[in-house]
Amino acid sequence: MRKKKLIILTAIITFVIFSGCTQNNEENNSNLQTSTPDLTPTGTIASDDGKYRYGNATVEDIQIILLESFPVQINVAAKGYLPDGCTKIDQTIKNWEGNTLFVTITTKRPVDVMCTMAIVPFNEVISLDVYGLEAGDYEVNVNGVRGSFKLETDNSLPD
């Protein structure tokens, strides 16, 4: 009698364990919706070429550094963060418009890759092309964060 109860109990436990092991078929998956969440901050994706997703880095603060030399050399130190562990700094684009230098720090991230979902801080030091500028006030805009500097004299070597 005891042996019979043990066999029945073993059969029930085995049935319960294997009842969770089923094959996936179309019918079971038809109600599931899958999507890849876009965890990149709004407005930062510039393009997607199929291999990489490109965007702009999030810059929180900039510091303008005037080096003591003549002609004056100026760097801007940008601090910010990247949205995940796969996103990297791609390039830095500089464009003068009047007395304002627009600096764009772009990023690239592989498409369809699992990444750590933790922000990654960065510090980027960017050399500004200021040789030949006349004396005056100038503004620097790095991904929307602004700073300014003043040149007391024309920034070129005398002839």
d(CA 53, CA 87): 9
d(CA 117, CA 35): 17
pTM: 0.69
pLDDT computed for residue 38 by the predictor: 40
Mean pLDDT by 10 residues, the chain (159 residues): 75 70 50 37 56 96 95 97 96 97 97 92 97 96 98 89
pLDDT computed for residue 4 by the predictor: 76
What's CA 128's distance to the chain center, in Å? 22
Q: How far is CA 11 from CA 1, 4, 8, 19, 125, in A?
A: 16, 11, 5, 12, 69
